[in-house]
Amino acid sequence: MKEFAFGTEPPGSGRICVVGAGFMGCVIATLYAHHGYDAVICDSNQTMLDTYVERARPIAAGLVEDSDASEAMLAGVTLEPDLASAIEGVFLVHEAVQESLEVKQALFAELERICPENVVLATNTSSFLISDIAAQMTRKERMMGIHYVTPGHIVPVIELIHAADTPAELVAWSRMLVQNIEHVGVAILERPGFLVNRIQFAMLTEIYRLMDEGLATRDDIDDAVRLSLGPRLALWGPLLTEDLIVSKKTALAVTNSIYEQTGDENYKGRKVLEDLVEQNNLGAITGQGWYKFNNSPEAVVETRDAQLRALLAWLEETDPVRSLNVS
């Protein structure tokens, strides 16, 4: 692997600056501190710094059972209003300021000016393209999107957003960093919505359409997802789910049928699916789909059904919706 200024892998300890002491800044700094990094939060609003410990206490309580250890961890986070002081000795600056493109652009232009070349610059943006945020930077290749999915101290996935000129080594570096804090990095070349929101809003947009057209009710939609799609997606994700429950030939036929009936290009069969059908990689039934199956189709089905029954039984027993007391 080529040696970059920031090294081929992140250190397991050291100083990290989180810019922005709002909710996400609190989460990010607390997670870094919990995993042994020297976290410093920088915010020009002194009130935000003064209230950090109080606001971060519920976050830390979910990470550390012992209250004394939790308080000690929070007390170890450095609170610094001055950016130049905050970035001294860091190997990473992680931005979590307000979701304003102009604010982020100005901040990263300043960070590029004052940070040594061996410091990685990361943004927690939830909507802007990395290349747009880095528009005022000269060395855009040191810029990376490391986006926590809310609530970041519970959800173990972090999006790794990279631009066309981001070196593969920095993507790998970022993936190792999030592994160090016991999260899973999922990488995507920058596109509007990134990865999680792109998938999430594809589903939600269709749900909004069904409701706008009066085709299904709120409760029926939630029950349909909660008791059918949801458990399968939680267990296996969308692609392995497809391998496990439907032949690729059927999947292609269904999506093309919806396309022919609606004229909606979003439903037209995609080349990646057509290629699998052409190769007869139809899923668990043929031993190969998106995934390679090493057990017989019968054994796979038996395991699949046992896992699904167990999760559905847990949902029925705990009744998470009722415990939220909604109407």
Q: Which of 5-9, 208-212, 215-219, 271-275 shows the lowest mean pLDDT across its residues?
A: 5-9
pLDDT at 235 over 70: yes
pLDDT band at 4 (very low <50, low <70, confident <90, very high): low
**What CATH number does residue 109 fall under?**
3.40.50.720
173-204: pLDDT as tens digits:
999 999 999 999 999 999 999 999 999 999 99
Look up the domain containing 254 and give its range.
217-317
Segment 151-157 shows an average pLDDT of 95
Domain shared by 169 and 221, yes or no: no
**Res. 171: pLDDT tops 90:** yes
Instruction: Report the C-alpha dihedral over residues 215, 220, 224, 227, rounded to 10 degrees.
Output: 180
Residue range 144-171: average pLDDT? 96
Shared domain for 30 and 88, answered yes or no, is yes
| Boundary-marking domain end, from 178, 193, 208 | 193
- Same domain flag for 73 and 162: yes
Same structural domain, 222 and 307: yes
- Measure the CA–CA gap between 220 and 200, rounded to whole angstroms: 18
Residue 142 has pLDDT above 50, yes or no: yes
Helix pair angle (248-262, 271-278), 10° resolution = 140
170 and 224: one domain?
Answer: no
Of all residues in the chain, what percent carry a pLDDT higher than 90? Answer: 96
8 falls within a domain? no
Same domain, 52 and 132: yes
Q: What are phi and psi of 188, to 5 degrees?
A: -150, 140
Would you state the pLDDT for residue 1? 37
Which whole number is the average pLDDT over 208-233? 97
CB atoms within 10 A of CB 159: 21
Residue with tokens 């969308």: 238
> Own/partner pairs for 141-144, CB < 8 Å, 24+ apart?
141/165, 141/166, 141/167, 141/170, 142/5, 142/6, 142/112, 142/117, 142/170, 143/108, 144/120, 144/170, 144/171, 144/174
**What residue has token string 């304003």?**
100
Examine the fold and report which residue of 177, 193, 209 is the final residue of a domain before the chain moves on: 193
For position 167, what pLDDT does the model report? 94
Q: Are 188 and 247 in a shared domain?
A: no
34, HSE (Cβ side, Cα atoms, 13 Å): 23
- Tally of structural domains, the chain: 2
pLDDT of 232 strictly over 90? yes
pLDDT at 35: 96
Last residue of a domain, one of 193, 228, 261: 193
Same structural domain, 90 and 232 = no
Give the model's pLDDT for residue 7. Answer: 78
Q: In what order do the strands lie in the sheet with 157-162?
A: 78-80, 38-42, 15-19, 90-95, 120-123, 143-148, 157-162, 184-189
Per-residue pLDDT, 216: 97
**Is residue 261, in this structure, part of any structural domain at all?**
yes
For the chain, helix, strand, coil in percent to 5 are: 50, 15, 35
We report the CATH number of the domain holding residue 268 as 1.10.1040
Residue 112 has pLDDT above 60, yes or no: yes
| Percentage of the residues of the chain whose pLDDT score is greater than 70 | 99
Segment 38-74, tens digit of pLDDT: 999 999 999 999 999 999 999 999 999 899 999 999 9
Structure tokens at 171: 């993507």
CA neighbor of 148 nearest in space, from 197, 217, 112: 197
Q: What is the mean pLDDT of the chain?
A: 95
Residues 269 and 156 occupy one common structural domain? no
Q: Are residues 157 and 229 in the same domain?
A: no
Q: Are residues 40 and 139 in the same domain?
A: yes
Q: Is 9 within the bounds of a domain?
A: no
